[in-house]
Structure 1
Amino acid sequence: MGKFKAAAVQMRSGREPGRNVVDFEALVREAAGKGAHYVQTPEMTGAIIRDKADRAAAFALEGKDAVVAAARRLAGDLGIYLHVGSTGILREDGKIANRAYLFAPDGSLAARYDKIHMFDVDLDNGESWRESATYEAGSEAAVADIGIARLGFGICYDVRFPQLFRAEALAGAEVLTAPAAFTRQTGQAHWHVLQRARAIENGAFMVSAAQGGLHEDGRETFGHSLIVDPWGRILAEADHDEPGVIVAEIDTALSAQARQKIPNLRNAREFGVANVAAPPALRGAAS
């Protein structure tokens, strides 16, 4: 158990990875300058591009990706754990992954995670997304050590699937993450409650860096990067959609305390669901 400072970097990534890397580096350096031991950036740090052809041209293999190279160098230069919330990566098979990276303070790669749950939705006012048309879904959760804490990975839409975070908490994660590019519509309705719920039900911190504002490709994201403690209290929030950095202290003892007070990780029981062919008759109903 121990204490450290965590930072969430809020961005407004455009269509050009080179420009986004410049912004990424400046914000990560700002976070490290505020004493952060662990720094997280949002989903799609490298580029947000609606057009399929432009997107395919912008994304590169991991060994040639500008965000990956910059993150590796920055983590080593600054002596921090640097978590790229995600970026688009061209796989060897020609498919694209929505992939997160964690780099250690010596610049080595500590973990990868490919987003599992694809954002395939039809919202109000004609807003529709089909992430599975572009990205290949991951199939494996990830937990990694960041020195004095264990970190569990999620990306954006994953936050709506509590079983992922429960599995990571059971694997020892005291800090859970959901870096995102939440739409403005869904963010206004659900962002805060989902982040707080995942923290409360797992007795874990939630650190979620976000994209925010009107992007070059026309989409709008909600912003409001959050750091939430295991009791569901918001420790830090970017209360806007502008680029910036938030920082809060993580004390893993608070995770242990929350899990001792409400030991739902231990108290969970296996159960089945009865297949009821017809609803039961109502007793006392008028005939």
Structure 2
Amino acid sequence: MKAAAVTAIELLSPSSALNSGSKNLNCFSSISQIYGSISTRKFNYRSAFNLNSKNSIGKVSSARISMSTSSSYKAEEARVPPAISLPTPPITKFKIALCQLLVTADKEKNIACARKAIEEAAEKGAQLVLLPEIWNSPYSNDCFPVYAEDIDAGNGASPSTAMLSELSQRLKITIVGGSIPERSGDRLYNTCCVFGTDGKIKGKHRKIHLFDIDIPGKMTFKESMTLTAGESPTIVDTEVGRIGIGICYDIRFQELAAIYAARGAHLLCYPGAFNMTTGPLHWELLQRARAADCQLYVATCSPARVNNAGYVAWGHSTLVGPFGEVLATTEHEEVTVVAEIDYSLIEQRRTYLPFQKQRRGDLYQLVDVRRLN
């Protein structure tokens, strides 16, 4: 009420005529001109808001406050370029499978294990299958160069992706193929391929943020010793909706998830292998935060835990809904969990809590550099 009163005074008092932009004291040669200007402004406001009595001044104030607030928020300007409207997905409800695989030093065994898990997931009705990070190789800088595959070379150079291509086509499912070490020229990448129901690669994401950490007495690992960082976000239109891809450490960067949401993603998939230090602290927290921040689904898939491995994974593959609620999860053992995704809940949650429309483009902006260029 105090704000409304102040606004009314500013609109209709002589002082506002003296202090409003160019209409300062020097603009008027007499007091009568000042009051004449005020009367004109009162008439203009009454006409604009269809007000016919002096008792309606509260409505003038409220209307002005409303206009000022809505124009200053500029929600559409908080995303540069402006966010894309959520597209209508090809399917609203479907089942997703998170295959938490036990990784060994035997690549052929790892590929066979992944094949079996995918086939069993399809038998349970899964139309989308998500695999873990680095599922065909031990997670180690020493192993990455040895197990790396040239995905683009063909002619059997990548047995891991060949298996995923064959299964996605035969089973008519979409596969977000976890990640494997990829060799491209003289560089190595941590790479996730997405396969459509025709068996073709629909998208390839190279891990953008490399896992370089040093926690004294707990964990030291530097992917940058062997791997090269990817250079682009990856969003893929599939038979089960628009999917944004990140790998493990990528989940810590809210900006990437926000870019995917602004590009109209329904689901974010993060193959990941958090460890026994960061896993208990941050794994579920980050998944729920990304889902709640962006009001969409988040799915993660970890390798199963091997306690005597050089790098011990936390496990706990999880599906999180658009309110940040955990819909399905595992413990640390080798297992596949199948859960339902219902995209209609995205619009429902965004209607209940419409903060996507309440962003302050006048105060902050997220720039999608690749899309802008």
- TM-score w.r.t. length of structure 2: 0.69
* DSSP-derived class of the 1:7 partner: strand
Change (3 A) 1:268 1:139: farther
What displacement does 1:266 show? 3.1
Q: Deviation digits for residues 245-266 of structure 1, max 9, x if unmatched?
A: 1111111111111122223333
1:250 counterpart (336, 341, 346): 341
- 2:150 corresponding residue in structure 1: 61
| Distance across 1 between alignment mates of 2:261 and 2:218 | 37
CA contact (8 A) 1:155 1:178 kept: yes
* DSSP-derived class of the 2:277 partner: helix
- 2:119 corresponding residue in structure 1: 29
Q: Give the number of equivalent residue pairs.
A: 270
CA contact (8 A) 1:81 1:102 kept: yes
CA contact (8 A) 1:12 1:215 kept: no
What residue identity is the alignment partner of 2:111? Answer: V
* DSSP-derived class of the 2:268 partner: strand
What residue identity is the alignment partner of 1:246? Answer: V
- TM-score w.r.t. length of structure 1: 0.90
Structure with greater Cα Rg = 2
Structure with the largest fraction of helix: 2
| Distance across 2 between alignment mates of 1:116 and 1:200 | 22
- 1:205 corresponding residue in structure 2: 297
CA contact (8 A) 1:182 1:211 kept: no
Confirm whether residue 162 of structure 1 aligns to residue 254 of structure 2.
Answer: yes
| Distance across 2 between alignment mates of 1:51 and 1:162 | 27
CA contact (8 A) 1:117 1:158 kept: yes
CA contact (8 A) 2:188 2:226 kept: yes
Please give the residue correspondences for 1:197-276 in structure 2 after superposition, counting only pairs within 5 Å: 197-214=289-306, 217-238=309-330, 240-270=331-361, 271=363
| Distance across 1 between alignment mates of 2:147 and 2:214 | 27
- 1:95 corresponding residue in structure 2: 187
Moved more, 257-266 or 133-142: 257-266
CA contact (8 A) 2:304 2:334 kept: yes
- 1:76 corresponding residue in structure 2: 169
* DSSP-derived class of the 1:245 partner: strand
What displacement does 1:31 show? 1.0
| Distance across 1 between alignment mates of 2:207 and 2:285 | 21
| Distance across 2 between alignment mates of 1:24 and 1:257 | 35
- 1:282 corresponding residue in structure 2: none
| Distance across 1 between alignment mates of 2:162 and 2:307 | 24
| Distance across 1 between alignment mates of 2:146 and 2:334 | 26
Q: Deviation digits for residues 140-196 of structure 1, max 9, x if unmatched?
A: 111112224211111101111010001001100011111101111111111111111
Q: Deviation digits for residues 52-90 of structure 1, max 9, x if unmatched?
A: 2x4312212113111111000010111100111211110
- 1:16 corresponding residue in structure 2: 106
* DSSP-derived class of the 1:50 partner: coil
* DSSP-derived class of the 1:45 partner: coil
Change (3 A) 1:132 1:74: same
- 2:204 corresponding residue in structure 1: 112
What residue identity is the alignment partner of 2:360? Answer: R
Confirm whether residue 47 of structure 1 aligns to residue 140 of structure 2.
Answer: no
What displacement does 1:224 show? 0.5
CA contact (8 A) 2:128 2:240 kept: no
| Distance across 2 between alignment mates of 1:200 and 1:86 | 25
| Distance across 2 between alignment mates of 1:101 and 1:60 | 12
* DSSP-derived class of the 2:105 partner: coil
Q: Deviation digits for residues 217-264 of structure 1, max 9, x if unmatched?
A: 4211100000111011111111x2111111111111111111222233
In structure 2, stretches of 5+ residues that fail to align are 1-88, 366-373
- 2:67 corresponding residue in structure 1: none
Change (3 A) 1:15 1:163: same
- 1:4 corresponding residue in structure 2: 94
In structure 1, stretches of 5+ residues that fail to align are 274-287
| Distance across 1 between alignment mates of 2:259 and 2:141 | 35
Q: RMSD across aligned C-alpha pairs, in angstroms?
A: 1.7
Moved more, 39-48 or 206-215: 206-215
What residue identity is the alignment partner of 2:183? Answer: L
